[in-house]
């Protein structure tokens, strides 16, 4: 419950303005005036219920449900019942009204949605530290259980989380870290899995803005500078494309976009590259009218138009063959369809081109809600059941009595994060399977008995073991034997949850098979210790991310009272914060370290090779900078070298100085900090 105070005339004006915006957006989703009147009724009810209540920001509380409802209609594309539920989603929790009151006024469906949202919020806000189990893990289980009843509850919850992220600056830092970590661990992957790219991208950028503010501001500034410099070139790139498509008779629109700060930062981190080395910074989206295709037979026509546009634009510009992504023929599991290619402009910049029909674009922007809309209109497509299949799979995990909430959270997170590849049966039938899956996983995908009796496989006509990791385009044949049965060692390399469950169930009564310990009991790699400081705490530097003084960090109080310190961007830390939000603390480096300490870092180096290059690097670090080198791994091929150096530094300033000085050595093109692998 927020603080209570009288509203001013200005407050009432802001409320009226924001609801007028929502009402206008809702008008497009309401079938008739009666539905719009229900939206008005819900607003009047919620406005009265929250009267005089303010948020932490000081603004009237009612502005929050209005904003959530606007995300629900504008970003997700849901209908009037969801808009009504969004307006009412905090009433039962924060006022004296009950779900029965909502049911009497707005009907069973709206009451059911509000009830689901209320139960989620009740667990989210419950931080009883006396409880031993993870409150947050139970909360996410409850969130996902609503998939059993109505996916709209999850979608409205995503809208609620997005608006909380938008206003997160008003939260204390430990609460902010908890919310952002939950967001990265579950809500962002969930938004991706449900096809809500706008919601996902905005959450990612907010996460980066608060977790790594310097990186966010630096990348944003570089994007703006580059966009200003390249605007004319992008426009010139589009001109002949527009002319050629018009000449071919297409009805279309072209939109320009640039990679988001988070997507750039993530690529820099995972690839070990600098901003200037990201060549697909700019994208052009071609959205064409496919003449209102409304039956399955015409899907091929829509696809043919994508390929036709591809042939037209690649006749104008050369394309990068290894950057073509055909999600028209092979849609993503969340329903995304488009044809991507990267073209070289006449002025020498790479431009990614995304080709979509209007239907494909709607699904890309609105995700599952757009699927429903097209399905309702009778538009059939090959991939329309993929979302339903995923939801069924999640339900199977949720109702498994042998999976506790913490294990479930890890299972769902891993399932949300994974991507799929396309492989083929011996007869040429296409099958989708998780990236990283083995030949044995594929056997279980075909049939349980095929997996149970598998002894080997042929991939592209070559004999391989069952542990062989599949790649996109592989043709897979499973070799079986009638007397074969599952082996305990299969659990060491099986990837998919379906295959692992079948094999685990087979050995459930066999006490010699070791089960994977619960997530909270798994042994972690021993972190680096830090010495008995002034505030009485013993701080431990996490070995999973190796933060150094100057990094933005988050701390977790361990059962023994020690505080483990992670980078705020550490994926392991995000997982911990998602489960144990009550254990978060906000450490400061002046309490953690003293001036005598040094910390390990890894620097990736790339450049032009020459005689004496490695000698110059090591001499400079050892004798000029007086830096202790832990490990050196550099290779050279065809005149170009790359590799990494592990060394010790005192803090970020020390690291920046070393990086700047290394860049002055002749031939070095880039020096980038990497994560040190465990």
The number of C-alpha atoms within 13 Å of 110 and in the hemisphere containing its C-beta is: 27
Neighbours of 318 (CB within 10 A): 10
Task: Give the angle 177-95-153 at the CA atoms, nearest 5°.
Answer: 60
Asked whether residue 10 is domain-assigned, the answer is yes
Burial letters for 554-572: b for 16+ Cβ neighbours within 10 Å, e otherwise? bbbeeeeebbbbbbbbbbe
Which residue is it, tokens 């309490």? 591
Give the separation between CA 284 and CA 257, rounded to whole angstroms. 6
Tell me: do 457 and 538 sit in the same domain.
no
Tell me which of 551, 574, 592 is where a domain ends: 592
Tell me: do 547 and 610 sit in the same domain.
no
**CATH assignment of the domain containing 470:** 3.10.20.30
Tell me: do 126 and 24 sit in the same domain.
yes
Asked whether residue 162 is domain-assigned, the answer is yes
Handedness of CA 182, 183, 188, 191 (dihedral sign): positive
Asked whether residue 105 is domain-assigned, the answer is yes
Asked whether residue 387 is domain-assigned, the answer is no
- Number of structural domains (the chain) is 5
Tell me: do 425 and 510 sit in the same domain.
yes
**CATH assignment of the domain containing 338:** 3.30.460.10
Greatest Cα pair distance, the chain, in angstroms, is: 83
Give the separation between CA 20 and CA 39, rounded to whole angstroms. 11
Asked whether residue 270 is domain-assigned, the answer is yes
pLDDT digits (tens, 9 = 90+) for 228-269: 888 889 999 999 999 999 999 999 999 998 899 999 999 888
Catalytic residue set: 93-94
Asked whether residue 366 is domain-assigned, the answer is yes
Phi and psi dihedrals of 371, rounded to 5?
-55, -45
Cα distances (Å, whole numbers) of residue 429 to 330, 444, 462, 477, 664: 13, 16, 19, 12, 55
For β-strands 640-649 and 629-637, DSSP reports them as antiparallel
Tell me: do 294 and 442 sit in the same domain.
no
pLDDT digits (tens, 9 = 90+) for 131-150: 445 555 666 666 666 665 67
Secondary structure (DSSP) of 153-178: HHHHHHHHHHHHHHTGGGS-HHHHHH
**Closest-CA residue to 327 (of 350, 279, 296, 361):** 361
Give the separation between CA 79 and CA 106, rounded to whole angstroms. 15
Tell me: do 571 and 610 sit in the same domain.
no
**CATH assignment of the domain containing 56:** 1.10.3210.10
Tell me: do 50 and 149 sit in the same domain.
yes
Tell me: do 224 and 303 sit in the same domain.
yes
Neighbours of 41 (CB within 10 A): 14
Cα distances (Å, whole numbers) of residue 490 to 374, 465, 485: 42, 11, 11
Asked whether residue 205 is domain-assigned, the answer is no
Q: In sequence order, what E strands does 212-327 have?
A: 252-258, 282-288, 325-326
Give the separation between CA 231 and CA 235, rounded to whole angstroms. 6
Tell me: do 166 and 261 sit in the same domain.
no
Burial letters for 465-478: b for 16+ Cβ neighbours within 10 Å, e otherwise? ebebebeeebebbb
Give the separation between CA 607 and CA 613, rounded to whole angstroms. 10
Predicted local distance difference test score (pLDDT) of residue 527 = 39
Tell me: do 438 and 454 sit in the same domain.
yes
Those residues of the chain that have pLDDT short of 70 are 1-3, 120-149, 292-300, 333, 369-418, 509-531, 533-536, 677-678
Tell me: do 500 and 526 sit in the same domain.
no
What tokens does 148 get?
């059993």
Give the separation between CA 657 and CA 619, rounded to whole angstroms. 16
The number of C-alpha atoms within 13 Å of 380 and in the hemisphere containing its C-beta is: 4
Q: 3-state DSSP call for residue 400?
A: coil
Tell me which of 500, 517, 534 is where a domain ends: 517
Tell me: do 243 and 144 sit in the same domain.
no
**CATH assignment of the domain containing 619:** 3.30.70.260
Q: What is the CA radius of gyration of the chain?
A: 27
Predicted local distance difference test score (pLDDT) of residue 297 = 46
Asked whether residue 582 is domain-assigned, the answer is yes
Tell me which of 376, 396, 418 is where a domain ends: 376
**Closest-CA residue to 183 (of 195, 172, 191):** 191
Give the separation between CA 652 and CA 548, rounded to whole angstroms. 7
Neighbours of 668 (CB within 10 A): 17
Q: In sequence order, what E strands does 185-227 have?
A: none
Neighbours of 320 (CB within 10 A): 14
CA 282 from centre of chain:
21
610 lies in which domain range? 599-674
Predicted local distance difference test score (pLDDT) of residue 534 = 45
């Amino acid at each position: 419950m927020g603080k209570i105070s009288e509203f001013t005339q200005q407050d009432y004006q802001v409320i009226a303005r924001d609801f007028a915006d929502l009402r206008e957006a809702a008008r497009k989703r309401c079938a008739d005036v009666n539905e719009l009147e229900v939206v008005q009724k819900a607003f009047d009810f919620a406005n009265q219920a929250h009267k005089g209540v303010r948020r932490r920001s000081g603004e009237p509380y009612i502005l929050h449900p209005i904003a959530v409802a606007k995300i629900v209609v504008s970003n997700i594309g849901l209908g009037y019942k969801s808009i009504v539920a969004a307006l009412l989603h905090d009433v039962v929790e924060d006022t004296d009204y009950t779900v029965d009151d909502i049911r009497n006024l707005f009907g069973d469906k709206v009451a059911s949605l509000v009830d689901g949202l209320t139960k989620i919020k009740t667990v989210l806000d419950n931080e009883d530290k006396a409880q031993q189990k993870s409150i947050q893990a139970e909360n996410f289980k409850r969130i996902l259980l609503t998939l059993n009843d109505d996916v709209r509850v999850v979608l409205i919850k995503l809208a609620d989380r997005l608006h909380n992220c938008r206003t997160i600056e008003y939260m204390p830092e430990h609460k902010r870290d908890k919310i952002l970590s939950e967001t990265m661990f579950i809500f962002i992957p969930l938004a991706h899995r449900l096809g809500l790219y706008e919601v996902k991208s905005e959450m990612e950028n907010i996460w980066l803005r608060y977790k790594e503010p310097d990186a966010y501001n630096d990348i944003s500034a570089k994007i703006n500078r580059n966009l200003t410099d390249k605007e004319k070139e992008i426009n010139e790139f589009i001109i002949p494309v527009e002319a050629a498509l018009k000449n071919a008779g297409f009805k279309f629109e072209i939109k320009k976009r640039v990679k988001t700060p988070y997507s750039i930062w993530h690529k820099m981190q995972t690839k070990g590259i600098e901003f200037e080395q990201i060549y697909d910074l700019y994208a052009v989206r071609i959205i064409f009218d496919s003449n209102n295709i409304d039956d399955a037979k015409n899907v091929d026509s829509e696809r043919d138009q994508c390929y036709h546009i591809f042939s037209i634009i690649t006749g104008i510009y050369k394309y990068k063959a290894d950057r073509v992504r055909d999600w028209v023929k092979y849609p993503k599991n969340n329903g995304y369809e488009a044809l991507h290619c990267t073209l070289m402009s006449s002025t020498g910049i790479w431009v990614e081109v995304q080709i979509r029909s209007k239907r494909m674009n709607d699904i890309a922007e609105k995700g599952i809600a757009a699927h429903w809309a097209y399905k309702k209109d009778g538009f059939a497509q090959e991939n329309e059941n993929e979302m339903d299949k995923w939801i069924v799979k999640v339900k199977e995990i949720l109702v498994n009595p042998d999976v506790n909430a913490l294990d479930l959270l890890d299972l769902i997170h891993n399932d949300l994060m994974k991507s799929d590849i396309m492989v083929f049966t011996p007869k040429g039938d296409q099958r989708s399977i998780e990236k990283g899956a083995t030949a044995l996983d594929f056997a279980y995908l075909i049939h349980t008995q095929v997996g149970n009796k598998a002894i080997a496989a042929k991939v592209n006509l070559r004999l391989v073991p069952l542990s062989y990791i599949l790649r996109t385009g592989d043709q897979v044949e499973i070799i079986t034997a009638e007397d074969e049965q599952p082996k305990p060692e299969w659990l060491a390399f099986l990837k998919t949850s379906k295959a692992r469950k079948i094999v685990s169930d087979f050995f459930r009564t066999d006490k010699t098979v070791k089960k994977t310990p619960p997530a909270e009991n798994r042994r972690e790699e021993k972190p680096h210790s830090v010495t008995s400081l002034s505030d009485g705490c013993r701080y431990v530097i996490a070995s999973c991310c190796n933060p150094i003084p100057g990094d933005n960090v988050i701390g977790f109080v361990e059962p023994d009272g020690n505080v483990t310190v992670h980078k705020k961007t550490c994926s392991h830390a995000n997982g911990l914060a998602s489960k144990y939000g009550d254990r978060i603390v906000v450490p400061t480096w002046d309490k953690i370290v003293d001036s005598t300490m040094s910390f390990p870092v890894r620097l990736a180096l790339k450049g032009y090779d020459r005689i004496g290059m490695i000698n110059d690097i090591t001499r400079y670090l050892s004798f000029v900078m007086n830096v202790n080198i832990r490990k050196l791994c550099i290779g050279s091929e065809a005149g170009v070298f790359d590799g990494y150096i592990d060394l010790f530094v005192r803090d970020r300033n020390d690291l920046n100085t070393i990086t700047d000085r290394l860049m002055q050595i002749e031939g070095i093109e880039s020096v980038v900090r990497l994560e040190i692998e465990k």
